[in-house]
Amino acid sequence: MSTSPAPQSTAQAVSGHPPFRIIHVGDLHFWSLRLGPTDLVRKRVLGWGNLLFGGRGKKFRMEEARPLAGKLLEMRPDWLLFSGDFSSTSRREEFHRARTQLLPAAREAGLTVYTPGNHDAYTRRDLRRRTFAQYMGGEFHPVLDAAAYTGGEGAGLLAINATTSNGLGSHGKFSARHLEMAESFWEERRSELRLLVILCHFPPEDPPGVLPHDRGLQLREAQPFLAWLTDSVPVPKLWLHGHHHYRWLYASPTVPGLTYLNAGAPLLSRNGKPPDLGFHEIHVPSGKPPTVRTHYRGAAMEWLWWDTQVPEQPGKYINLENLAAQ
């Protein structure tokens, strides 16, 4: 496991032509302990019990969302991307808290896109009714199935909603529609795209031996999509995800030029320590490979960051957790 390089202060100036800037925020898991009569669904009651008795409510420090939201507002990126799990059990109060905190930042970004996680489509009814889109609509551009955008410096964005009916499980699933949409976007824009960014809550590959518990494959039926990336998309590809609550960079061992970037869980407190509010800023400079800047809040409550080059060696794993805070 590699260690994190020495952090730098945000006060240091960044020189040269400003790159196209993407901010990627991971699993926030806003929660609420209020349970209404329509919430008496087995899975939601179990989730509620986990919030109340399982410690999830203590681990995700919602009160720290305000400084994080303030930082995101201040940064005004070209793209502000949320890879899902805004909520814990898909309830109105949870989405309302997320929306209230993040709306100013969403409004100030060039484009904001939100692709839901399994906790945002928690029950079959939430999945069917797409409650996440009802509560996080408008400025957040929630992805119902798949959506594509183009940005500066040849960056293309493919945002995929892979939530599915998973019983008491937590996995996601790709469909033929996702692949068709990706193929048509690529065919239409291939002459201008230099970097393909995929935004999806779930990753189809995990670095071996990193997660403390084996969750099994959490994105199912993605093989045709990975085969298409291998055969048809020769530009660098960044897969922005969350779901596993750790930050990392991981070069795919199977798909050339594909790198996974996990944004982790900014509000998560580990070992009783305050959450470090970490998130990623991806710089896409003109004619150069993208770099990843990890922002986090230090022990003295100051904002710090460090830069990491996207690894080229297949299978290379880089830990982007703030090790000092663990």
Query: Toward Fe ion, which CB reaches closer, 178 or 243?
Result: 243
Q: Strand 291-297 and strand 279-284: pairing?
A: antiparallel
Q: What is the CA radius of gyration of the chain?
A: 19
Q: Strand 172-173 and strand 219-220: pairing?
A: parallel
How many CA within 13 A on the CB side of residue 237? 28
Smallest separation, CB 119 to Fe ion (Å): 6
Q: Which of residues 61-120 bind Fe ion (CB under 5 A)?
A: 85, 117-118
Query: Toward Fe ion, which CB reaches closer, 48 or 186?
Result: 48
Query: Toward Fe ion, which CB reaches closer, 270 or 316?
Result: 270
Residue 27 near Fe ion by CB under 5 A: yes
Which segment (9-17, 21-29, 50-58, 107-115) binds Fe ion by CB under 5 A?
21-29
Smallest separation, CB 129 to Fe ion (Å): 19
Query: Toward Fe ion, which CB reaches closer, 118 or 322?
Result: 118
Per-residue tokens: 233: 């998309």
**Crossing angle, helix 92-108 and helix 65-75, to 10 degrees?**
30
Query: Toward Fe ion, which CB reaches closer, 236 or 264?
Result: 264
x/- letters, 152..181, toward Fe ion (CB under 5 A): ------------------------------
CA distances from 7 to 3, 32, 48, 87, 296 (A): 12, 34, 38, 30, 9
Q: Kindly state the helix (H) or strand (E) to which residue 81 belongs, with its residue range.
A: strand 79-82
Smallest separation, CB 110 to Fe ion (Å): 26
Nearest partner of 242 among 102, 63, 116, 56, judged by Cα: 116
- Strand, helix or coil at 63? helix
Smallest separation, CB 52 to Fe ion (Å): 18
Let me know the angle formed at the C-alpha of 263 by 259 and 268, rounded to the nearest 5 degrees. Answer: 155
Smallest separation, CB 150 to Fe ion (Å): 28
Which segment (65-73, 154-162, 179-187, 239-247) binds Fe ion by CB under 5 A?
239-247
Number of residues near Fe ion (by CB under 5 A): 5
Which segment (3-11, 94-102, 223-231, 240-248) binds Fe ion by CB under 5 A?
240-248
How many other CB atoms are found less than 10 A from the CB of residue 171? 18
Query: Toward Fe ion, which CB reaches closer, 26 or 290?
Result: 26
Residue 243 near Fe ion by CB under 5 A: yes
Query: Toward Fe ion, which CB reaches closer, 172 or 257?
Result: 172
Query: Toward Fe ion, which CB reaches closer, 141 or 244?
Result: 244
DSSP string for 148-204 = EEE-GGGEEEEEE------TT---EE--HHHHHHHHHHHHHHTTT-SEEEEE-SS-S
Smallest separation, CB 82 to Fe ion (Å): 12
Residue 236 near Fe ion by CB under 5 A: no
Residue 206 near Fe ion by CB under 5 A: no
Smallest separation, CB 263 to Fe ion (Å): 10
Query: Toward Fe ion, which CB reaches closer, 222 or 304?
Result: 222
- Strand, helix or coil at 133? helix
Smallest separation, CB 267 to Fe ion (Å): 11
Nearest partner of 114 among 123, 103, 125, 122, judged by Cα: 103
Contact (CB, 8 A) for 292 and 251: no
Which segment (54-62, 188-196, 237-245, 304-312) binds Fe ion by CB under 5 A?
237-245
Smallest separation, CB 8 to Fe ion (Å): 29
List interacting residues with Fe ion (CB under 5 A). 27, 85, 117-118, 243
